[in-house]
Amino acid sequence: MAQENSPYSRYGLGDLMPGQNIVNRAMGGVTASYYDAVTVNFTNPASYARLKYTTFDVGLDYTVRTLKASDPVRTLNSGYLIPSYVQVGFPLSKKNNWGMNLGLRPLTRINYNLQQTTRLPGIDSVYTSFIGEGGSYQVYMGTGIGSKNFTVGVNAGYAFGSKNYATERLFINDSVLYEKGRWADSTFFGGLFLHAGAQYSTRISKNYMLKLGAFAQLKNSLHASRSIVRETFEYNPSVGEIQKDSIYLSKNNEGKIIIPATYGAGITIEKDYTWSVSAEYSLSQWADYRYYDQPDEVSNNWQFRLGGTVIPNFKSTNYWALVQYRAGFYIGPDYITVNKKLPAYAVTLGASFPVRKYGYNLYSGQYTSINTAFEIGARGNKSNSLRETFYRISIGLSLSDIWFIKRTYQ
């Protein structure tokens, strides 16, 4: 399988991973106003208050990217398979609308390996390699509580990760021997974060619900430790790179990485056990991002999301009538800005397949389902020197089953 290779991940904290549960991704990523009894919606922790069954939720993503460069014209394909998240949500008190969630998920990824050959006066050619790897993660605990109509919630946890960049240059010349040079910069970081959310729901008629929601991922500061190396090296086929001379070395430089705030709000119209439609708008203040007090090629960005779900017939005993089908889309500029804005957009599809048949009058204590999402989209357009198209297949398993239910008789 090909490896991920995304030049845009050089900037900021790297490429942002999907920030939603697989159920929500299939609906264009709408999360602010969404909740149900068995879905762990970690984007808005107010939804935890609506959990009625203990749910173990795990996801897996397979993403394929196609990069098209205009100068010179070339195409690069890559693909990668990674875990999406693992979490467990459970009600603390169904009567008092109080729930909790524990989780771990990747937040960003840095992964690229690019080569360039150029000519310099007096030298046949220069071969330069640009390499980057790393990313960030979140481990968190959240709780949500509220009344029949209104709930609030928070996620608190620890964010951590690394940024590792290296540039290697080789001078290719038949008459003069030049040393191979390497410039490397490695940073490890970590710190606490806090997210908050609120949701309100009310009946607008006998069978219809109106849901409103908002969330805030608060600005936070991560402690960082950075090492910088400038050296010459040789390459040995059996052991790899061997350092020859360290020209400059600086270790354990302490500093801060500022992670910006994100705010979002949304609305859902829902018909009981039949369908729902949701819309959402969010804004991320990436202009506040700082890496050791330095800005980067990033800027504020917004996203608009629209999606919905349909259940053909929840009262039916036919399996396919109980499958929840979903679709949606999102649009908005990427947070990375290289010379100009990078428009980003995608269309999403998906479904939740119950492992065991259940219906409106057939409650069996088992709500385990296989959740799927398919996303196809692009970042950049013909006005950008580098355009990226992608598709992502996500599969998740949501276990809300009889082994989580307390026995009445032993």
Domains parsed from the chain with CATH numbers: 8-105+136-158+194-219+259-404 (2.40.160.60)
Burial of 339 (0-12, 13-18, 19+ CB in 10 A): exposed
- Would you list the DSSP string of 86-136? EEEEEEEETTTTEEEEEEEEEEEEEEEEEEEEEEETTEEEEEEEEEEEEEE
Residue with tokens 């900021």: 12
Which pLDDT score is estimated for 245? 67
Which pLDDT score is estimated for 87? 97
Strand partners, 396: 59, 371
Q: Which two tokens stand for residue 230?
A: 């400038």
Which pLDDT score is estimated for 362? 40
Which pLDDT score is estimated for 385? 78
Q: Determine which helix (DSSP H) or strand (DSSP E) holds 236, and give its type and residue range.
A: strand 220-236
Nearby residues of 177 by Cβ (< 8 Å), 6 or more positions away: none
Which pLDDT score is estimated for 316? 85
Distance, CA of 226 to CA of 85 (rounded, Å): 28
| Residues in the chain, overall count | 410
Which pLDDT score is estimated for 187? 96
Cα–Cα distance list, 83 to 105, 214, 349, 391 (Å): 8, 27, 20, 16
Which pLDDT score is estimated for 51? 94
Distance, CA of 305 to CA of 279 (rounded, Å): 6
Distance, CA of 286 to CA of 18 (rounded, Å): 17
pTM metric for this prediction: 0.90
72 DSSP assignment: T
Amino acid at 87: Q
Which pLDDT score is estimated for 1? 39
Cα–Cα distance list, 119 to 114, 124, 131, 172, 223 (Å): 17, 6, 21, 9, 41
Q: Which two tokens stand for residue 63?
A: 């993403």
Which pLDDT score is estimated for 243? 63
Could you tell me the mean pLDDT of each successive run of 10 residues in the chain, 410 residues long? Answer: 73 94 97 95 97 94 88 79 94 94 96 79 74 95 97 98 88 65 90 98 96 97 93 67 71 95 98 96 97 95 97 89 96 90 95 74 65 95 84 94 53
Nearby residues of 72 by Cβ (< 8 Å), 6 or more positions away: none
